[in-house]
Structure 1
Amino acid sequence: MRFSILGETLARHDDGTVVPLGGPARRALLALLLASPGEVVSADRLAEEIAPGGAVSAHALQAQVSRLRATLGPAAIERAGAGYRAAVEPDDVDACRFERLAGEGRTALGEGDAARAVALLHEALGLWRGEPLADAAGSPSAQAAAARLQEGRLGAIEDRIEGELRLGRSRAALPGLRELVGRHPLRERLAGLLMRALCAEGGQAEALVVFEGTRRHLAEELGADPSAELAALHREMLSVDPTPSPVAPPAPLTSFVGRAGEVDEIAGLLRVARLVTLTGPGGVGKTRLSVEVAAVVAAAAEVCFVELAPVRDGADLPGVVLGALGLRESGLQPGGGGQTPTARLVTALSDRVLLLVLDNCEQVVDEAAALAARLLAACPRLRVLATSREPLAVIGESLRQVRPLDEAAAARLFSDRAEAVRRGAAADPDGVRRVCAALDHLPLAIELVAARLRTMDLRDLAGRLDDRLGMATARSHRTADERHRTLRSVVAWSWELLSASERRAAERFTVFAAGATVAAARQVCGCDGETLESLIDKSLLEFTGGRLRMLETVRAYGAERLEAAGEADAVRDAHARLVIALARTADPHLRRDEQLEWLDGLAAEHGNLLAAARWAARSAAWETLLELLASAATWLWIRGLPASVAPQAAALLDALGELPSAGLGEEYAACVLLAAAGPDGPGVWRRHRARAERALAAAWPGDRAGRHPALLLPWMMRSATDDDPRRAFVLVSSQADCPDPWVRALARYVSGFAALGEGDAAGAGRAFRAAVDGFRSVGDRWGRALALDALAALAGASGDRAAAVALTDEALALTEQLGALEDSADLLVNRGDHVAGDDVRAAGAAYARAAALARRAGSSTYLAAALRGLGDMARLAGDPAEAERLYTEALERTDPHWVRSAGNRVRTLAGLGRVAEARGDRATAEARYREAADAASAVLGDADRGSLRMLGLPAAVVDAVSAR
């Protein structure tokens, strides 16, 4: 018989049938005996536990025992002296079995066998059905036993989660862990497990928030500090680098044939040469060879694969490489310190061991060569592997010509691909060799032709090729140009074998520069799913990662056919309209809780956005371009990519001259902001700001919402650098009663700065808190991070460092989720500043992590701030030489014209003054203090002494500014 007390008290026969136990008194009696099977419990104690105060007599207790024995069998409960005991094996009681399994699971975990531990602990926890000893809940001894069991259950849950984390199941563990930490905020092991799980999923900043919350609960409720183990984990979290992974080489869909020796040779060459270029005609296998080489190199270095085939404008190249590295062109706050994408790349790669694969350089070969030369000169640990139809012609370039396969390898490739479409299709070796020779042993041509064996036999295929190509089977050596003509002929031949509907779909698909979903392809190509599947079967389309793609050689031919058919503009217009519709659908979601999922989906469409924008600008389809850029503006700002469309936005503004047709004022203002992100940003802003401001004010009168709410935030931030930024502040803060809750939250955020300007810190705090609540209510991480940062600055200024750190960590968690590395670096510097007075080690760790993130993000401005913080730490540690070196580098990297750099510039100059003063150089110290005072006056104006001290300035600087 089996017994259960982890929930309602139950007894079951061996066949599983439940034994009727009777009323509550009998259940309570049995539960008390089963809590310690085999142990004698005195009759007096049992009577008192069942009914305190003598309500149950000895005779009544004996009667209850007799009834239980009649039900369970006389051997189940024994009389022993003045008491009773449950004469059952411990393993027959679920509570005892739970404790045994949980103990074995913990032992397995300690021995490193996580899989066995998790299995045992799952079995143990599966025995629970409810509150233990529930039928004896009024008994003191039952309450003590239940508490012991509950503690054991929580420990088993922790052990099970520990095992799951060791098995790499952190994502599955996160929801339950978050709930457990919420219910047990003082349980440090749970907090540590949640921190580890978050870190494993890239949520380092959220892990820091968990630590801060646990630390605060411990201090407030127990007056204790975190344990040494949790504190050590916290220090480890501070040192973790959450840099996004670069784009990996595409996963091969087929086997690799015939070039193993070349892979080893090129990988070896990259160990001594920093630029290797694989040259050869289209279709010869350069891309696939580069992928295989990258897989070898990946064992010793990071690899970033950059596909350049869709890039038509060389000016876009640095931004494309930034995107492949997983980096943004600018932070959440527009301006970004004015760094160009190339400068950001230099900063990001300056100390990184990385192989950069630039695939298909031929259409932007000059720009690719210039960029490779610049990066290799500035980044000594970088190596570049390029593929191109012509050399880059850069000093130090090592060339390797990729030739067609030899006869045996070509035959193996053809047979492999033919067998994949139809068993026995390549059974004739002579026929295979004949076909491969006709195709000049070009891998792409072989793959295209082999796909045709699904519907024709080898002999017929060989005959048609001979007729189509007009070539004998025995051939002399061919030049690259001739081979390219061979490949073109094969693509043309494949095209001719398509049905009319398939040709039309393939030609129209060429407008997708970045591939497409099946639904998008069906819409623009005007075809059904079967047609697309047929094109996949014939190797004219690939389907991978949920998207359809076309090989660039095939796409180039199809694009020519589309132009010749006279359909190009109509299809490209349909493509642009599709992108507009997608952006408009996505726009509201980008300000809600689901913004991360939508941003991930939109990332795959960036190439299509650029292609549509270029076509609209080239075709003077200005109204289409206006709608396109405005609809995508939110997506571009959050991802830090406004500069990618700045040339098209600037061309649009030049073409329009004045405002566009009525009702498009908001779109015009969006294009002004986007164009201002380009190289001529200040000039664009001066020429168009006033007209755009009037249009924006008309679109947002305060009592109704416009069409593009997210436009207001970058507009306000851009205007903050003007001589009179108050107009933009008034425009946004006047939206306090707007029906859009996101806009209302933004209005609260801006009104907080207005309150600060009037010296009302309390009012500013209320406004910023209302903004945080408003952004949280709609799920927007972008605005909430900005508002939390403002609140943290207020808390730090008032001396509440603990609150400042907690708020900063919460903002960090959000910028990390958004992939905003530079903004995370900025917040980490703020964190270091908040804790520097209390914990020098934690401050140093925050500055060091900020510096690492800023370097990876390529942000020289944010790196300068981190270096200033590290300089402060070196100075406090008594190393003036190192402090001066760090301060000097920080000053060199600081942009004196960017408003967000001003405070850091003041602190850096003051730090240099302190170093000079410490070594007795009064003249240099005074000169540095005067520079700091001038910089502080420029940014703070008539600020009071308290505001100046917020910057951590020495008394000499405070006095100098205050005296002005």
Structure 2
Amino acid sequence: MRFGILGPLDVRTDDGTPLDPGGPRPRALLSLLLLDAGHPVSTQRLIEGLYGAEAPAGAANALQSQISRLRRRLAPHAEIEAVAAGYRLAAPSDSVDAHRFEQLSRDGRAALAAGDHTRAAMLLREALALWRGPALPDLPDAHADTMRLAELGLAAAADRIEADLALGGGPELVPELRALLAEHPLSERLYGQLMRALHAGGRPAEALGVYEQARRTLADELGADPSPELAALHLELLRGGGSERQRLPVQLTRFVGRESELDRIASLLAQGTRLVTLTGPGGAGKTRLAIEAAGQHAGVCFVELAPLTDGAQIPYAVLTALGVREGLRTPATDSTDRLLAALEDRELLLVLDNCEHLVEEAARTVSLLLGTCPGVRVLATSRESLQITGEVLVPVPPLPPEPAERLFLDRARAVRPGFEAHARVPGICAALDGLPLAIELAAARLRTLTPDELADRLDDRFRLLSRGDRSKAPRHRTLRAVVEWSWDLLDEEEQELARRLTVFSGGATLEAVEAICGLPYPEDVLASLVEKSFLEVSAGRYRMLETIRAFAAEGLEGAGDVGAAADPRPARGPTPTAPLKTAHASYFLRLAEEAEPHLRGGGQLAWLDRLAAEQGNLDAALRYLMHRDTHRALRLMGPLSWFWRLRGVHGERVATARELLGEVGDAPPPGLEEEYVLCVINALSGTGDEPELVARAAAVLHAYRGPLRLPYILVMWAVATGPWPDTEAHALALAGDSRWARALLDVGLGFRTQFEGRPAEAEQYFSRALAGFRVTGDRWGQANCLDPLGMCAHARGDSERALELLDEGLSYTRELAAPEETADLLRTRATVLMHKGDTTAAAAHFEEAMALARGAGLPDKAAAARRGLGDAARLSGDTARARVHYENALQECAANWFSVGETVRCLLGLGRTAAAEGDTDEALDWFRQAAELAVEGPGDLELADTAEALASTAGSPERAAVLLGAATGLRGGRIENNPDVAPVEAKARANLSPEAFEQSFEQGRKLRSAAISER
């Protein structure tokens, strides 16, 4: 949760939903606890805070009642714990705005002391933004705390003003300083800052007048003179001193992000590096970053080179920026010589902005300056390096998601005050490649568009983002102008390759460029495009920003056929892009078919990574083929199906698979039966409402003789539609001689025998499957055997062996980055830990499993993890939280064949919760519902769980023993050390003779599943 006490008490859940803690007394109580969040607050302190020094009789009991009511209000989001001497709000300190404010203020002050004024200003602004009004208004008697926070707020404001002054601020700070002085007329620090701000703004007389005002106020109020520091500042201003204004453009907006780049630039300059060049694509914010970095230094000269058309003008532009003028009697001299003479003995940081269009001439000038003027350092911005010895490059890439979204929100609030985070903002920033200029232009459109309207129009980004700041140079007013500025710097060969590279989605390897783009030996042209910031290169992959890609595609005839946003309909006639797109699709079809067998063997990891890197290209190729060549589209979907399954992204392809099925028709093309069945499996939504589609694919598979070329059909079919419907002989024929497929069938048989209550036989199948997968080297297969084998060991009471097996399985699934299998193993491991009594560690595993399942779009797996959280909470005594988890898990269960078991366990959890709270009638009602549903499950395991639950509420020890025996019979064995079952069995044994217990237990073992459901 998030709590606010810097203003009216504000309580919000993690998703931003406000929560009302109640009337004045609960609000005061919560405010007291929040002042020491995470730490004990004594009962005496709470009573005094609520009732004052003269507390009424019964105040302690009243406090307990208030605590109870407040607990109910905050549950399940926050917890108030009773401790030895009082109470503690179990919330991290940084969830309270006052504590976050204090930490940010301390960090800002430390940055100010270290001379990092930009970071100081950023941190202090963030701290001050937390204030929404006077602190603790819901706690009127907390004068000491209120005064302390107010003083800290004033100190933070003054520190932030100090940082702004150091960064070249001046006149814009005057109104704020005058307002602060009106509230704090005895603050000498504020008087000094106001004097400096006025002097920096060219108002020295007013600055001196402020000193006189300070002197009179201090004398009248305190009978004291100004401090020596304020008097020294006054004397300096009288003498015409004061710090020299830096020659840097004043920025009108807040600087957001780029902390790591700022730190790197500062470190390089501090280490004596004399030439630092900021490189990156147009609109990345190189100029703004250079200004912010230069603002940390004294003696700065900023030179804008973009308006120049001739490199010979560069020395003169620098002289002009330095304020060096030719006099009437000055002999004519070469401008370069005059520049060298002017800077020969000076200490100066020279900022040369936009060098790319005059890069050779800029490089010559900089080389001369560095060789002749030892006190000069150069900070340059360019879309390509100057290539001078000693040059250090600082790439300025697009902003990562978090700072990009902060920038968007900051600029959006400037045009739409009060604008809050919106679900479409991350997508907008991603679509704009994190380019600051594009983000700022997009945010400005919120004057007239909603976030949804803005996001939906970004396909036409160059038209949409065509209104910029009129005060800026034309090349920075629109997104198109920014990209055109770079495009015009490319030669014809570079432009042609750039156009062809738009066929790729998500980047390309050199091999792919060479094979598809029809340009032999493209290395040099690619290198040139990288140097000019038109391409990014990383780990051997060349990537074009989507904004640049959209621009380059406009120059390619038939551009609507290019890229991820391509029109899926076939073009009316041949276009020059058609051969390019066909070559692209053919290349990635060959890649997918080459990868397929490796995804089931020892080369699994390398090929998974390779396909993951090409996922955008593979998807684009599939979209292209889907409406032009359905046979090849099916051929591509076939091998991709297992890749999607391993990486947990198969759910995202439902719409694509359905669209392809619509193109293919009701029958598979000859020779593509397997690919057709996989397409059907991919098209299933998991809601169970596609019986005709399932029947169609089942008929194809039933008639197919095998052996399978793509044997993972067996597991994908089982997961999507339920246990294998055909005979075991047919399954073996489909598997053929493939060791991998035979191991897979053993896994299926293991689960079948497990469901049928034959655990020893199931363990043999899983062990044989594990041996087979170890031979193939398939990590996925091994992990899927180690999970049930771990549970087999756990059922025997060997928890340590179970954890060893599960940890080995987790090592494989994490290598594979397979979210579904990792979630499964984490849930199993959590169950083992929970049965060992470690509910805290178990809950952490369940939380991680739930996050993985949700991220992969697997509601049933998320429901199972949430149900596990309910079990952990219930076993640790928190029945209220357990009930919430079980109810939420029930809502998340999807309507498919394997949701039955999970729904049964949720119902049993609710029943056990009611029993723990003493409501046996409610517990029995839940257990009966579970029993009615359990008969619909794939086996008898759900009925076994139900029988054990019913035993906990049995009316007699004999009946409890019968039900426990029935559970053992249905499951084919016992689960040792089950914390829900062990106490029930111990109680029944204690109330029966050994002979009577065994007789009842054996009677239960012989019961049929129908009899259990009736009970």
TM-score by length of 2: 0.47
Relative contact order, higher structure (CA 8 A, sep 6+): 1
TM-score by length of 1: 0.49
